Amino acid sequence: MSRLALKNKAAAKSKFGCRDYHRCGLCGRVRGFLRRFRMCRICFRLLSLKGEIPGVRKSSW
């Protein structure tokens, strides 16, 4: 229940722009957020390894 409340809080427009923060849409995590993909690093890694994010593949050196 608390995660749902935090997601709703993040979705609301804040009074000041500097108070806005991004939250992962899948798990609700705040830290490690990738703006380009709109998700946290953990969800990004899981989905990219499954091949569910188009244009992303594992790098090899």
- Residue 10: domain span: 4-50
Give the count of domains, the chain.
1
Distance from the Cα of residue 2 to its chain's centroid: 17
> Are the CB atoms for 20 and 35 separated by under 8 Å?
no
pLDDT of residue 34: 94
What is the per-residue burial (b if ≥16 Cβ within 10 Å, else e) of 38-49?
ebbeebbeeeee
Residue in this structure with the two tokens 């992303």, named with its chain if needed? 56
Residue 10 lies in a domain: yes
Q: Which CATH number covers residue 46?
A: 4.10.830.10
Residue 9 lies in a domain: yes
Between 28 and 1, name the one with better pLDDT: 28
pTM of the model: 0.71
DSSP 8-class letter at 47: H
pLDDT of residue 1: 66
Q: What is the mean pLDDT of the chain?
A: 86
> Are the CB atoms for 32 and 19 separated by under 8 Å?
no
pLDDT of residue 38: 93
Could you report the per-residue pLDDT of 20-43, keeping only the tens digit for each?
788 898 988 889 999 999 999 999
> Are the CB atoms for 23 and 33 separated by under 8 Å?
yes
